[in-house]
Structure 1
Amino acid sequence: MRFPARAACAVGSIAFGLSALMAHPALAHGVSSGDKAYIQTHPGINIIPYIYLGAKHMVTGYDHLLFLFGVIFFLYRLKDVGKYVTLFAVGHSTTLLLGVLANIRADSFIVDAIIGFSVVYKALDNLGAFRKILGFEPNPKAAVLIFGFFHGFGLATKLQTLSLSREGLFANLVSFNVGVEMGQFIALSIILILMTLWRRTRSFERNVVIANTLLMTAGLVLVGFQLTGFAMESGS
């Protein structure tokens, strides 16, 4: 077996492992105790800390990155990547701001389970499953926007766990969102570089099914962990 094929399997295995870690309550990509303590002891406008927090959350947000990996899997032109990423950004920015400012709440386990399902959906879409099973493919741009809403709401649920000061709240949220976009740009750039290198090898076409099957498995792991957490929370 050539190195590119082994690398493809390794990437999928790593994605699976990271998703399992992210789903574990102790290692979830929420707000760390240190960041929480800083925010709660520094009320008012804190632009730089919130930018850092947003970027950190996106870079360690394995569910967001797995979804984006699935979205760009078959996008070869930067123009197309830009369109889909913009739709995703519009979606998650809208519900992030609305969720916190309007204090719209939902169970974080359910929201994160839907985010995990978005990874499953994208893997199935890449495999052409919807056309084979349903006879048609859902609009891919609409799907990215809709799931972007849920990803943004997931971000909002993380911030809602903090005792955020109302003083400077809007400025801080905008700063957090700017950080999210910065983190997304950095992570997406790395993913695009690796994807471009992989696409230039013969192993890409041979491993499309394997890669997306692993991606779907990672999404199912996320869904399973979140629903388990919801069941445990409801039963306690």
Structure 2
Amino acid sequence: MQQPSREGPPRCALGRSTLIMLAVLVGQALFASTAFAHAVAEGDKGYIQEITGVHLIPFVYLGAKHMVTGYDHILFLLGVIFFLYRPKHIATYVSLFAIGHSTTMLAGVYFNIGINSYIIDAIIGLSVVYKALDNMGAYQRWFGFQPNTKAATLIFGFFHGFGLSTKIIEYNISPDGLVPNLLAFNVGVEIGQLLALSAILIVISYWRWKPSFWKHAYTMNVAMMAAGFVLTGYQIAGFFFAPAV
């Protein structure tokens, strides 16, 4: 019978607890309302619609809040860094994602480029599916080649940014102070992304030291893929069956 180490509980138990913590994130995405994906909470929506002028701190807060509660963003980031070990590689991919979603979020709102929210959110759900399949090595087995992971991260970053810009456009943000407020919001998004990324890295880095990581890594990516399909299916159903506003 396996004896506990002197430093704490058995390693298998620690591995299971870490896996559970990561699975909670996937489970939340499976059952969370779409209000936490790209929509802004009703109270925040009212605030955005009513204020005019420059309000940097509130918009920084709103941007950070959006990213921390944006399950689709976090799931995609989890997929991106799942098998990245070196800090410079993590920084490269996270920067590509940030450049992508910052560009389309700012340009989309400024130039009033809106995309149907159901369609763009369905694509964002598929970005989670894509990354989970990539982590499982599906493309090498199915097609015999590896897609460019950096290009994919940047491209899907563009879609994530359009998802947010589409919602902001729907809330008719005041043109008075638009540019500074948008920049502040984007700063908040990046702060929220760093907070979420830090939490993910702490958990997954701890898990990687456990034997259970390689045992359950494939299962974890299957769960992420399932979450992506659920998010996508929900949006497609909304596109066809949601009542017109």
TM interval, short-chain normalised: over 0.9
Greater Rg over alpha carbons, structure: 2
Match of 2:146 in 1: 137
* CA shift for structure 1 position 4: 3.6
Structure 1 segment 202-217 matched on structure 2, within 5 A? 202-217=211-226
Match of 1:112 in 2: 121
Match of 1:30 in 2: 39
Structure 1 segment 1-236 matched on structure 2, within 5 A? 2-11=12-21, 13-22=23-32, 24-25=33-34, 28-233=37-242
* CA shift for structure 1 position 234: 7.2
Structure 2 unmatched ranges of 5 or more: 1-9
**What CA distance in whole angstroms lies between the structure 2 residues aligned with 1:12 and 1:221?**
18
Aligned partner letter, 1:162? Y
**What CA distance in whole angstroms lies between the structure 1 residues aligned with 2:37 and 2:135?**
27
Q: For the Cα contact (< 8 Å) 1:8–1:211, is it kept in 2?
A: no
Aligned partner letter, 2:231? L
Cα distance per residue 1:33-92 (max 9 Å; x no partner) = 211222222211110111000000000000000000000001001100000000000000
**What CA distance in whole angstroms lies between the structure 1 residues aligned with 2:34 and 2:213?**
34
**What CA distance in whole angstroms lies between the structure 2 residues aligned with 1:12 and 1:217?**
14
**What CA distance in whole angstroms lies between the structure 2 residues aligned with 1:16 and 1:196?**
17
Aligned length: 235
Cα distance change on mapping 1:29 and 1:42 into 2, 3 Å: same
**What CA distance in whole angstroms lies between the structure 2 residues aligned with 1:13 and 1:80?**
24
Cα distance change on mapping 1:27 and 1:187 into 2, 3 Å: closer
**What CA distance in whole angstroms lies between the structure 1 residues aligned with 2:229 and 2:25?**
12
**What CA distance in whole angstroms lies between the structure 2 residues aligned with 1:141 and 1:6?**
31
Structure 1 unmatched ranges of 5 or more: none
Q: For the Cα contact (< 8 Å) 1:94–1:149, is it kept in 2?
A: yes
Aligned partner letter, 2:135? N
Q: For the Cα contact (< 8 Å) 1:15–1:218, is it kept in 2?
A: no
Q: For the Cα contact (< 8 Å) 1:119–1:216, is it kept in 2?
A: yes
Q: For the Cα contact (< 8 Å) 2:108–2:165, is it kept in 1?
A: yes
**% identity of equivalent residues:** 54
**What CA distance in whole angstroms lies between the structure 2 residues aligned with 1:208 and 1:134?**
22
Aligned partner letter, 1:3? A
**What CA distance in whole angstroms lies between the structure 2 residues aligned with 1:20 and 1:205?**
23
Aligned partner letter, 2:141? K
Aligned partner letter, 1:188? L
SS in 1 for 2:115: coil
Match of 2:5 in 1: none
* CA shift for structure 1 position 3: 1.7
Aligned partner letter, 1:123? A
